[in-house]
Amino acid sequence: MPSLDQSVKSQFAKVFSTSDWRLFKEMAEINLSEAAFLKKSSFNVAEHRRLLVRNSRKRLLIGIGAELLLKAVYLKAGYCINKPQDNKAPVKLPFKQAEATQCPLKADDTYTLDQLTGQLKKIVQLPNPQVVMDGLSIAKVFRNKEGHIVTHAHKFDPSSYRAIEASLIEIYARAFHERLTVRFSLEPGEKGAWRVAP
């Protein structure tokens, strides 16, 4: 009999195919664009908690959006995001859908953001890969931090957000051949931006 975890996990189990990339990208954009425009006034919480809540939610949305976007990149390029059932399988990340025909994949387990980031240079030509890697690494830290701990305050470094923006712009240009305009609004009076153009 499956455990409760396995039973719930099975509700979402799927071996993803190339055609799923559009849904991954759409959901990534919903999260990322919400993060770009999120304001303190968006939350019905005590005034003294609004900045903390807004910043926490913004970082969580950025991290989730980055992971979904990266998975869209892999799927669009014909690569698998599900892990092989056998750890000793002949395929290694990154591998194409055609290579997985002799290797059953786990329907309930996909590669992590960190694993996908580490192999991205093999599937997308990046003129300045460090820009992309830095932004994705920061997004991963944001997601992990917000998913695991809460702190009253932290040293605000706007360059972290600018690095993520630069990374996303490069991913859109190289993987989707689209022009992204993005600004995660953080400081008073700063306007958010999210626009994708061909």
> In the predicted model, what is the mean pLDDT of residues 6-34?
95
Q: Is residue 11 part of a domain?
A: no
Q: Is residue 9 part of a domain?
A: no
pLDDT at 111: 97
pLDDT at 156: 85
| pTM for the whole structure | 0.95
Bridge partner list, 183 = 193
Pairwise CA distance, residues 121 & 130, whole Å: 10
Q: Is residue 190 part of a domain?
A: yes
Q: Is residue 1 part of a domain?
A: no
Residue 9 burial (CB < 10 Å; 0-12/13-18/19+)?
Answer: middle
Per-residue b or e along 167-187, where b marks 16 or more CB atoms closer than 10 Å to that residue's CB = bbbbbbebbbeeebebbbbbe
* Domain around 38: 16-197
Q: Is residue 22 part of a domain?
A: yes
| Owner of token pair 């996908």 | 116
The yes-or-no verdict on residue 10 having pLDDT over 90 is no
**Contact, 81 vs 19, CB < 8 A?**
no
pLDDT at 7: 87
pLDDT at 134: 98
Q: Is residue 99 part of a domain?
A: yes
The yes-or-no verdict on residue 84 having pLDDT over 90 is yes
Structure tokens at 108: 């309930």
Q: Is residue 7 part of a domain?
A: no
The yes-or-no verdict on residue 56 having pLDDT over 90 is yes
How many folded domains does the chain comprise?
Answer: 1
pLDDT at 152: 85
Q: Is residue 5 part of a domain?
A: no
